Each structure stands twice: as structure tokens, then as C-alpha cells.
Chain A
Amino acid sequence: MRWKETTYSGWGRAIKAHGEVARPEKVAALNAIMADAPAPAIGNRRSYGDTALNNGGQATDMTRLDRFLNFDFETGLLEAEAGATIGDILNTFGPKGWMPAVIPGTGFATLGGCIANDVHGKNHQIAGSFGQHVESILLVGAAGKPQRVSLKRNAPLFRATIGGLGQTGVILTARIRLAKCSGGTMAVQERRMADLDSFMDGFSESNAAYSVGWIDTTASGVNLGRGILEEANISTGEFSAPRKVRSIPFNAPGFLMSKPVIKLFNKLYMRRIPSDGRDRERPLNDFFFPLDRILNWNRLYGKHGFHQFQCVLPHDTARTKLTKLLEEISNSGLCSPLSVLKQLGAGRGGMMSFPMEGMTLAVDIANKRQAPALLARLNDIALSGKGRVYLAKDSSLDPAYLSGMNLELAHYRETVAKADPEAIFATSQSRRLNLRGDT
């Protein structure tokens, strides 16, 4: 197997890694790597920070091992290789009446990545997290031998792998339970929300299967927390293939993401929706992956890239802490056009999984000089509200905060240490955050 020496990054492009990457195209090639020089697995690197990076070490790119291996049309149980993408699963099985039960915001996310980050979708309150729909995982650990883990077989290792950020080994294949897909379109209702209070009420009153909020982070004062609430249910239209993609060919200049430009953009974006709201039918691909039609949209943030901050706050602290977070962001001038507010349920699949019952806020923050200080303040606010920071997005958390996030950290560390005592699968992120608790 040839290793490619390369510099690579996560989706945010603010943190880079340099090292060797192998990209096996055959199972035999992967087995050879795992026997000789096992290295942590990476996929399409849609996590934002350093989750899928191994600076100074090696990594195994799993994207070419992306086959569907079995599907039961009666039960919806799908077995696929780790490199298969969510978009591919949706577009292959959607027209036949089945879809991933949990769909993250990009179709480029791989099956392995969705498990390792225990991702959630716009239906978290109902469906829970991705890991809760995983029946079993074929995992190659440090010993090099594949083993099947599930809730019944080696539950600790299974639960340390779901949301486990790659530390237990390489996911070869997984069996996941798809959900019924009753139609090919979404009936989407969009309504303007005047401020944070009405936004939160809007979420708690919503009966839709899917809901998500776009929030205007440039708004302040009485408008603080205004945005658009999108509620949707699967409708009966024809399934349509994803539309042709366009690409951002080069890094955008810095002024594109400056405050006046974003302020203007957000204003227009808000006005898109009539004051009395609107209803429309949208293809599934457009609803679930609104940004996938623009390849490399991360280049809009310029060559220095951006960070994403996402936290979840329990309902009892959400209102006050979200206000604080939004004030910080609005005052910083580092606001982003792509900010998301969402309600989460309690469902989570692994020891380190992100979701908790409450409200989650996700914002992009351009990687400018003031960004680290802002991120530190945002992390502080989230943690002081007994919240959690999403490690799939994180690039800035203080390792000391991990223990305050109400995760099953001790059990995770013990399981990882047992599965991989020599830290073969350590990554840039696991070292930065001392995830394994070994330093």
C-alpha cells in the first residue's frame, strides 16, 4: 500500500494536519494496513475541527470502501462499508421506500463518521441519534482482528465506538436500521420568528417530524435571536435525484465574511420568507442537504478557514444562556450567515455522545484574530449552563472542561485504554483534548 504524504484539514480548515494517508480500495489492502501499520480511520472529513486529523502520524482514508453489502427490504436492515455516504444511502434506498433514520446536514458524511460522531438530524426529538439505529459494527481494533460489536456483544466497546471519535479502532462495516420513507418530497412550512422567546416557543409547540431554525446572529436588542423556523413532514411527491452541484473554485477574499456583508445577507435571507410564512414542497435532497449543491462552500471563509461552535443547553438554562451566547456573538463582529438553532431530545447512542434534552446552537466563526477568545467565552457560557460542546465541531475546548460535560468519560477512557492500550488510534483531537486521559 502506498502512503501519500499530504497536508489535510477538517471542514473548517482552521486546523491542519501533516502526515501520511493511505486510501485502500480493496478489503485486502485495508487488511494489509491493519496488519502492518494500523492507523486511525478518516472519511470525507466533514467534521469541522480536528476530529478526523492525525498530525504527524498516519491515517486511513476509508472513502473508497463504500459498498452496500446487504439490505433486507422487509425490515430495512442495511449492511454497508464505512465509506458509504448518507447521501448515497438516501438516494439508493429512498426511491424504494427506505431512508436513514437520522440524517445529518450533509450527504457527504460517511457511515463510519456518522457512527464515530453519533450525529443527529432535524428529527432528533423523535428519532434520537444516529448511533441508536446501529444494530452492530464490525470493528478492527489494535489487535488487527475484526470483531462484531453490538449492544448484545461487548456493549461497552460498542458504546465507546458510537460517538467515540475513532479511538476504539477502525469501523469496517456496520448494520443500521433504516426508516420507512413514505414519499420523495418534504412539505416544509417556514415562519419568521421575531426573537429568541418566540423561537423557543415555536419549537416547543411544533408537532412536525423535522424542525430546524435559522438564526440571525447579527441581530441584537429586541431582535436578538430572531430567525426562521422550518418545520417539515415527509410528503408524497416523486423522489428526485440530487441536482447538479456547483463548486466554489477558490478561496473567497476576507471581506466576504465581514459584518456589513453578513448583516445584509441575513436581512435579505429573513425577508425571503413573507411575514405570514410560506409552505412549499421540496425534494428530500434539498431539504436535508441544503449546502451540498455548492461543493467546497467552506472556501467562502477564505484561506484561513473557520471554526464551528455548537453546544446544547438543558431547557432550564437554555433561555438565559442562549441570550448570553447570542450577545457575545453579535458583539464580536465574527458572526456567521449559517447559524442554526434546534431542539434536541434525550436520545444518544454512546458514552461520549453529544445530545441532551434541550436547545442546541451552532454558529460558524471566521478564523480571525479574535476567534480563539470568542470561542473560549462561548465554551465558558455553555459549560456554566450545564451544557455540552459538540466534539465533532470543536477546535477550541479546554481539556479540563471534558469532565464537566456530564459524559460517561471514565467508562469511555477505561474501555478505550483496554481496546487500544498503545494509543494507535489517537488523533489530533484526542491528544488536544486528552480524550483518553493518558497524559
Chain B
Amino acid sequence: MSNTWIILGATSAIARAFARQLAMRGDSLILAGRDLAELKLIAKDCSLRGALQAEAIGFDARKPASFAAIITAAEQNSGIINVGVFTGSMPEQAKIDADPSLIDGVIADNFIGPVRFLQTITPLLEERGGGCVIGIGSVAGDRGRIGNYVYGAAKAGFHTYLSGLRNRLTRSGGHVITVKPGFTDTAMTWGIKGMFLVASPENVAKDLINAVKKRRNVIYTPFFWRYIMLIIKNIPEFIFKKLSI
């Protein structure tokens, strides 16, 4: 049975590495994002690496009108449909402090857009059955911290949504994976001071492929972030509020 993957935010480094690995096993790809020229290069690359087909389609989390074309394209492929959500944006907290109107964009990119897309396509996933949804959350969503709590709040909302969607899709044989990456070596973290234990996008993508195979529910990648976050989540609030981690 053929496997189609819709990748939202396909130009991100983790999405690209993930798409490559899907391509190498012969899946069909619908690569969606804002930079169409870039998406076309990724589609070419994926085709040459073995994707059954790879199509580039424009997608903007802030423009729900852009969703329909992707869903139509997916409908035309037979077989199981899967979705990977890699969209997101993270302006510096200081910029948000200076201009609170930026919050609308953060919530749109990390929460409203992805959720609205998933909600729209869920009936199709249910109809085909057996599909998988991967949602990229963040360790920042596990606890609000001074450094990026608006972004963290949007991701926390997304985690909660994914949990509910998992509850729903399970009934039709589908599956939802919540992914919480730690620091990953991408354009988002390049040159930022204070990064440690930075994982390569290729290794994060390998973890995703494994999580799909094993139908995991919530994964941290690399795995040790589960323990780091376990500690951070368990610091009592009266201490945590004084920390700046």
C-alpha cells in the first residue's frame, strides 16, 4: 500500500532530513511551505533519492485559503495519508516584549495554523485509516520560562491539541506522535550562544522514523531531553520562579 506524507513547513532542516528518509524508502511526498522555489529543489532531491512522487505546494499557516490545494493533492493519492507538522516561528522574547502584536503571529504559526489544517484534514485521515500525524512541539512547551514563554505557551497548546487528536484518531486506526526536540543544529539555533548537546537534524529525523515505526505517543529527541525536562518540570514553582534557565 502506498504511503503519502504531507509535510508542512518542509523547508525546515528537520523536515528536510525527515523527507529525505521517507523518500529513500519510496513514499509519496507533498512538500508544503512558503518558499515555493526552495520546496521545488527539495522535491527534486527527494524524487532522485527514491520518492514515488514529490510535489511542492504553497502553504502559509496564517492563510487558511492555502490549505485546500494540499488536501486536494493528497486525496488524489491512493492509500494511507500521513501528516508531519514542522511549521513554527520563534521571535526573541525581547522582541515580543517590545511589540506584543508579534504574539498573533507566534500563535498563528505554532498553534492556530497547524491545528486548523489538521482539523480540516482529519476526516480524510479517518476515511483512509491507519495514517500517522507527527506534530513538532518543543521542550519549551513543557514549562513556561522567562526566555521564550509566549512561544512555549503556543507549543503547550499544540501539545494539548495533539493529545486530543490522538484520542480521536486512535478510533479509526490512526496515530499521533508528539515530538519534543531539544536543541537541534538548524538555522534557528545557528550562532545563538548557550546551546549545548545540539543534535543533528539527521539524527532527529531518524528518531522520527523510528517513532512512526513503533507508534510512539510522545517522544523527546534526543532521548535524554526526557530526563532533563523531567527535572525541570519537577522544580517547585516557588523556586522555579526565581530561576533563569
Contacts and interface: CB of A to CB of B under 8 A. Distances in A.
A28 B41 contact: no
B48 A92 contact: yes
Interface string B5-34: 000000101001000000000000000000
Interface size bucket, B side?
Answer: 10 to 19
Contacts, number: 46
Interface in B20-57: 35, 37-38, 41-42, 44-45, 48-49
Contacts of B245: none
Given A69-B41, A69-B44, A70-B44, A23 B49 contact: no
A27 B48 CA distance: 19
A83 to B, nearest CB: 12
Given A64-B13, A71-B48, A5 B41 contact: no
B190 A23 contact: yes
A67 B20 CA distance: 10
A68 B45 contact: yes
B1 interface: no
Contacts of B187: 2, 23-25, 29, 64
A24 B191 CA distance: 12
Interface string A283-320: 00000000000000000000000000000000000000
A26 interface: yes
Contacts of B35: 26, 28
Interface string A27-57: 1110000000000000000000000000000
B49 A27 contact: no
A28 B49 CA distance: 23
B186 interface: yes
Contacts of B11: 25-26
Interface size bucket, A side?
Answer: 10 to 19
A68 B42 CA distance: 8
A218 to B, nearest CB: 38
A269 interface: no
Nearest to A29: B187
Contact of A67 (B45, B190, B191, B192): B45
Interface in B186-235: 186-187, 190-192
A26 B48 contact: no
Interface centre among B13, B35, B48, B49 (most CB of A within 10 A): B48
13 contacts: A2-B187, A2-B190, A2-B191, A5-B191, A25-B186, A26-B38, A28-B35, A28-B37, A29-B187, A67-B44, A68-B44, A71-B48, A81-B41
Interface of A: 2-5, 23-29, 64, 67-71, 81, 92
List 4 tightest A-B contacts by C-beta distance, closest first. Answer: A4-B191, A67-B45, A2-B191, A68-B48
